[in-house]
Structure 1
Amino acid sequence: MESPASAPAVRLLESWPPARLLAPELVLVELLNAGWKAWRAGAISEEQFEGIAELAPRLFSELVPAAALLPAAQRWSRRLDHPAYDCLYLALAEARMGPLITQDQRLLSRLRRDPHAAGMAVDLTDL
């Protein structure tokens, strides 16, 4: 399912030690939905789509329940005026004192404008 837009993510997954990748459990649903869209568009086979449910959880060393992140995600969502589901990832980065790695330019732009969010995120395309 690699495309020019996904190439930086593929490079990250191939080079980054899996023990260091954390995400909210929501990521599994997002990956499955992206796979469904790719399957519907004919970009991946039915077999590849079926493999996502098994492979996706193994990409991460830890999947954090969303409930633990909701208060901080709500705060960030309000502060940045940005969708709450994206802010779950930001809340996790904040809680674990690690960088949020994203290609979401809208979120990156909002974070750059917030003095309390300096250095919290890294643009995936810069890695």
Structure 2
Amino acid sequence: MRGIDHMRIGELAELTDTPTRSLRYYEEQELLVPRRLPNGYRDYDEYLVDRVLQIRGLLDSGLPTKIIKQVLPCIGTNAQIHPEDATPELLAVLERERERMDERISCLTSNRDAIDRYIDVVFRGK
């Protein structure tokens, strides 16, 4: 980083290990809102590093961008939840998504355990 509170898209991409194409997509989906400089360049605040990492984590967990867009206002720049922003509809959607995540976690855990057993048998002769 340049030692100031703002950065260009390439710097944000490097800091978050996120392709610039993905950052532009997040902007199109209104998940990120950078400032525009007079020359048209995007100018990203430093707090958006955490925001990008939050977006990536939510995407990795299987949440679609439509739901992420609803959740992000509930997450402050310091990753605190603001309950007054959560609507009953959003909470219902999130509860369904959480149940879906729990199912995926269970499946992944079973698959990991099967791989562990395979490794134990093949490489360790157990």
Q: Structure 1 length normalisation: TM-score?
A: 0.27
Structure number with greater CO (CA < 8 Å, separation at least 6) is 1
State which structure, 1 or 2, has the greater radius of gyration over its C-alpha atoms.
2
Q: Structure 2 length normalisation: TM-score?
A: 0.28
